[in-house]
């Protein structure tokens, strides 16, 4: 028994490694995108908040981000901050194409998700689910970390 | 080996002393260099009559002796206003205890929604040096005109929400209320801290 167990172990490990490799491939095929640095800047009360993230197209085809939604907010919009002649404002963004291998940055003083109408109170340290939607009916659920007002 | 030679040692000492003296001279005669835009003599001195976020009436005199950073924004602005205030907050962190010599005055361009209690909760989120200020429309227009900034409020949507456009400038005044520097949302915390440190030092 002991000898058998020892001889089986490498096979088991190999099987486990293969399973993990296939699982990884399946995940990559199912959602050809990865999101990093998903975060929200906390502000008091029910003030609109901004959500930021880096979206990388890991698939072989162009990806078009068409919007976002969340159960924690009544309304989520894609916006971009623009500066014109010393004046600053926001413009709505409808869809953004990300080429294969390209990373789209939603970053302070640029593209951001405008999150309005909190359905629950939020505090620094919370995690908030937001669904990013893409053309072709695809979507991706991402957890955003709620950070302090003074985050960079 | 040459250092053991008394003549060489004296020469090195003299050279070092000369270098130190030259450095001192050049430091005194050189203009102060600023990382931010120098607006000395271009922008009007600090002058206003506003209500602070505790409901108190304040003027420029209230903050005399402190470095003042003046910014026009509104609390319902999710991106550029908190981003700018966060950068200023980081700059203050770099100053350590000297941060107490600085006050950041956030003048709302949206006095209708920005009540003193909301302004207080908002500015507190960035630090004790941040103060929200407001006034009603005619006085706000005059203040904006004084600093040559513009603002406008957008049309409300179905839910009554609206956005505003406003200046991206942060005006920095010295302890005497003289306009000295201008930062923007893209300015780094390091640049702001560097320049404010110089102002605190009497530059």
Between CA B146 and CA B173 the distance in angstroms is 14
DSSP state of B186: T
Contact B82 A86 (CB under 8 A): no
Q: Which residue of B has its CA nearest to A92?
A: B163
**Residue spans of beta strands (DSSP E) within A47-149:** 49-57, 63-69, 73-84, 87-92, 96-98, 103-106, 111-118, 127-134, 139-147
Same domain, A21 and A65: no
**A86 φ/ψ sector (left φ>0, alpha ψ -120 to 50, else beta):** left
Q: Are B85 and B126 in contact (CB under 8 A)?
A: yes
In a domain, A114, yes or no: yes
Residue pair B69/B103 in contact (Cβ under 8 Å)? The answer is yes
Cα–Cα dist A46/A144, whole Å: 18
Same domain, A54 and A2: no
Distance from CA of B78 to the nearest CA of A (A): 5
Are A36 and A26 in the same domain? no
DSSP one-letter code for B5: S
- Output DSSP code: residue B33: P
Q: Report if residue A152 sits inside a domain.
A: no
Asked whether residue A38 is domain-assigned, the answer is: yes
Distance from B203 to chain A by nearest Cα, in Å?
Answer: 27
Residue A22 lies in a domain: yes
B165/A79 CB distance under 8 A: no
Helix (H) or strand (E) holding B193: helix B189-200
Cα gap B198→B30, rounded to integer Å: 14
Q: Say if residue A25 is in the same domain as residue A36.
A: no
Statement to judge: residues A9 and A49 lie in one domain: no
- Looking at the fold, whether A57 and A123 belong to one and the same domain comes out as yes
The pTM (predicted TM-score) of the whole model is 0.82
| Contacts with B118 from chain A: Cβ below 8 Å | 44-45
Q: Are residues A4 and A65 in the same domain?
A: no
Task: Please check whether residues A43 and A25 belong to one and the same domain.
Answer: no
Q: Quote the domain boundaries for residue A12.
A: 1-30
B91-130 pLDDT, tens digit each: 999 999 999 999 999 999 999 999 999 999 999 999 999 9
| pLDDT at position B141 | 95
The answer to whether residues A5 and A60 belong to one domain is no
Judging by beta carbons within 10 Å of its beta carbon (0-12, 13-18, 19+), is residue B106 exposed, middle or buried? buried
Confidence of residue A85 (pLDDT cuts 50, 70, 90): confident
- Predicted local distance difference test score (pLDDT) of residue A67: 97
B28 SS3 class? helix
The answer, for A45 touching chain B at a CB cutoff of 8 Å, is yes
Verify that A74 and A141 share a domain, yes or no: yes
Number of cross-chain residue pairs from A and B with Cβ atoms under 8 Å apart: 93
Domain count along chain A: 2
Chain B residue with Cα closest to A77 = B78
- CATH number assigned to the domain comprising residue A51: 2.60.40.1890
Asked whether A85 and A61 are in contact (CB, 8 A), the reply is: no
Q: A8 with A46, same domain?
A: no
- Which of A44, A110, A116 has its CB closest to that of B121? A44
Is the Cβ pair A149, B126 closer than 8 Å? Answer: yes
Residue B195: is it exposed, middle or buried by C-beta count within 10 angstroms (0-12/13-18/19+)?
buried
Return phi, psi of residue A84, to 5°: -135, 115
A131 and A77 part of one domain: yes
pLDDT tens track for A88-142: 999 999 999 999 999 999 999 999 999 999 999 999 999 999 999 999 999 999 9
């Amino acid at each position: 028994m002991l000898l058998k167990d020892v001889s089986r172990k490498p096979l088991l490990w190999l099987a486990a490694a293969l399973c993990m490799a296939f699982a990884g491939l399946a995940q990559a095929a199912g959602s050809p995108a990865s999101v990093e640095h998903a975060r929200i800047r906390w502000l008091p009360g029910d003030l609109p908040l901004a959500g930021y993230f880096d979206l990388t197209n890991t698939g072989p085809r162009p990806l078009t981000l068409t919007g976002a939604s969340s159960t924690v907010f009544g309304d989520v919009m894609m916006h971009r901050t623009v500066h014109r002649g010393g004046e600053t404002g926001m413009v709505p963004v409808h869809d953004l194409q990300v080429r294969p291998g390209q990373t789209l940055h939603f970053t302070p003083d640029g593209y951001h998700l405008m999150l309005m109408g909190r359905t629950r109170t939020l505090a620094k340290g919370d995690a908030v689910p937001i669904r990013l939607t893409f053309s072709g009916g695809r979507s991706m659920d991402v957890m955003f970390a709620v950070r302090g007002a003074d985050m960079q | 080996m040459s250092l053991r030679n008394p003549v060489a040692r004296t020469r090195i000492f003299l050279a070092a002393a000369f270098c130190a003296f030259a450095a001192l001279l050049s430091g005194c005669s050189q203009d102060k260099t600023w990382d931010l835009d120098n607006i000395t003599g271009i922008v009007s001195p600090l002058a206003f009559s506003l209500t602070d976020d505790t409901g108190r009436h304040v003027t420029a005199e209230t903050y005399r002796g402190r470095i003042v950073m003046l910014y026009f924004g509104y609390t319902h602005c999710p991106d550029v206003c908190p981003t700018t205030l966060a950068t200023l907050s980081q700059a203050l962190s770099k100053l350590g205890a000297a941060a107490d010599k600085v006050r950041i005055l956030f003048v709302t361009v949206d006095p209708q929604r920005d009540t003193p209690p909301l302004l207080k909760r908002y500015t507190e989120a960035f630090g004790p040096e941040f103060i929200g200020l407001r006034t009603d429309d005619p006085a706000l227009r005059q203040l904006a005109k004084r600093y040559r900034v513009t603002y406008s409020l957008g049309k409300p949507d179905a839910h009554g929400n609206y956005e505003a456009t406003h200046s991206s400038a942060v005006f920095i005044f010295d302890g005497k209320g003289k306009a000295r520097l201008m930062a923007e949302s893209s300015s780094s915390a390091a640049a702001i801290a560097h320049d404010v440190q110089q102002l605190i030092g009497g530059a």
